[in-house]
């Protein structure tokens, strides 16, 4: 007996728009609409695409000690985060692995946290167990989450409220959109400029329809979301990062601010700090790299990567034929001596060795709006 799939507040709208629904993290989610994944991907790169990401977990951490409390669970500077500023963070475990990645925004009276759908129950327990005595952990199932992404996202959203245009990348604020009180951040998961909009569930359909009514906007599903984030070199939890990969191996050292590193004012004090600090000092055994295929065949997740002598080096964690760059791209973990730009390795696909070249990421340039 399989558990009944949960539905987001936009479920009926997806069905009405002809979406193909698939199970994802316990929810029925749109993987694509009739236009198809390729068209949706291009829509996001050239105009604006609307994604339903209401399956993600939204939480509030409330109390004067909330920032310091959260900082005890992540290797990231939360204490110095300014009001309406957003930061990428990572829950780590005792062995330095990643339990989840998350987005944190400091607001006037709380910390607003967004976690991955598949991890939200575990993350909520993790927060309550470890810091529930220091701050109040409030789950927000009464809110939906929309992502409006693409170079024309600001044009479309500003028609509903011109003030949103004042936001820059990784900042947020409260705005009335289509009659609903929303919390909006200028951020996303596509490499494009765009916004994530937390909206009361009962207003989600009205807002989505108002956005889809704009000439620049079309709906997009999980298929395009995955190809877009892969071109942008962004990790997907449970694929490119997990509880056995450290932030340093994952190429996420940039998310660990100086103040939290050895010698910094608030170094350590989070789970796995000793392991992660050793990795920061050069002790990481492997590194997440980008790979570009020298042939057009796509190289999928799980594909073995070997050297010229056929010795296994690693495994592909994500891969696709990237629509914008028109090449096979992938991410994989390789030993440090092979994780060198332009180094050639081989993907074993159906008995053939396909040459791939280690490449800097993102594969497609980020176009975030920094003001």
d(CA 217, CA 47): 7
Q: Domain boundaries in the chain?
A: 1-284, 285-362
Is-above-0.85 flag for pTM? yes
Q: Which uninterrupted H or E stretch holds 46?
A: helix 37-46
Place of tokens 């994952």: 250
DSSP H helix total and E strand total for the chain: 8, 20
At 1 the pLDDT is: 46
Options 3.30.930.10, 3.30.450.40, 2.40.30.110, 2.40.50.100; CATH of 285-362: 2.40.30.110
Domains 1-284 and 285-362 share a fold: no
Give the pLDDT confidence of 244-293 residue by residue, as tens digits.
999 999 999 999 999 999 999 999 999 999 999 999 999 999 999 999 99
Determine the Cα–Cα distance for residues 282 and 288; give it in Å rounded to an integer: 14
Percent of the chain whose pLDDT exceeds 90: 99
Q: Which residues of 164-177 are buried (b: 16+ CB within 10 A; e: fewer)?
A: beebebbbbbebeb
Domain 1-284 belongs in CATH node 3.50.50.60: no
As a whole number of angstroms, the distance between CA 278 and CA 281 comes to: 5
């Amino acid at each position: 007996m399989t558990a009944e799939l949960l539905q987001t507040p936009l479920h009926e709208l997806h069905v009405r728009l002809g979406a193909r629904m698939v199970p994802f993290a316990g929810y029925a989610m749109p993987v694509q609409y009739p236009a198809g994944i390729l068209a949706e991907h291009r829509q996001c790169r050239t105009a604006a695409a609307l994604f339903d990401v209401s399956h993600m977990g939204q939480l509030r951490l409330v109390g004067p000690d909330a920032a310091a409390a959260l900082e005890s669970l992540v290797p990231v500077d939360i204490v110095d985060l300014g009001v309406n500023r957003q930061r990428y963070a990572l829950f780590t475990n005792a062995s330095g692995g990643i339990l989840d990645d998350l987005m944190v925004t400091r607001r006037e009276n709380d910390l607003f946290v967004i976690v991955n759908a598949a991890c939200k129950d575990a993350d909520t327990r993790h927060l309550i167990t470890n810091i529930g005595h220091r701050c109040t952990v409030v789950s927000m199932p009464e809110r939906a989450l929309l992502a409006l992404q693409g170079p024309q996202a600001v044009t479309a959203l500003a028609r509903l409220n011109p003030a949103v245009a004042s936001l820059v990348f990784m900042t947020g604020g409260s705005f009335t959109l289509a009659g609903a009180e929303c919390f909006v951040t200028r951020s996303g998961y596509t490499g494009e400029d765009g916004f994530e909009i937390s909206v009361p569930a009962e207003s989600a359909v009205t807002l989505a329809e108002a956005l889809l009514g704009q000439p620049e906007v079309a709906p997009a599903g999980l298929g395009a979301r995955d190809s877009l984030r892969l071109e942008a070199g962004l990790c997907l939890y449970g694929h490119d990062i997990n509880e056995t990969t450290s932030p340093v191996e994952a190429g996420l050292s940039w998310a660990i601010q100086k103040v939290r590193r050895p010698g910094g004012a608030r170094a350590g004090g989070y789970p796995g700090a000793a392991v992660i600090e050793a990795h920061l000092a050069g002790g990481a055994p492997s590194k997440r790299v980008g790979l570009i295929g020298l042939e057009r065949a796509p190289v999928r997740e799980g594909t073995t990567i070997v050297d010229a002598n056929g010795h296994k080096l690693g495994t592909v964690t994500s891969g696709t034929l990237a629509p914008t760059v028109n090449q096979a791209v992938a991410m994989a973990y390789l030993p440090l001596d092979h994780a060198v730009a332009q180094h050639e390795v081989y993907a074993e696909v159906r008995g053939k060795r396909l040459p791939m070249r280690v490449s800097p990421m993102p594969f497609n340039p980020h176009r975030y709006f920094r003001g």
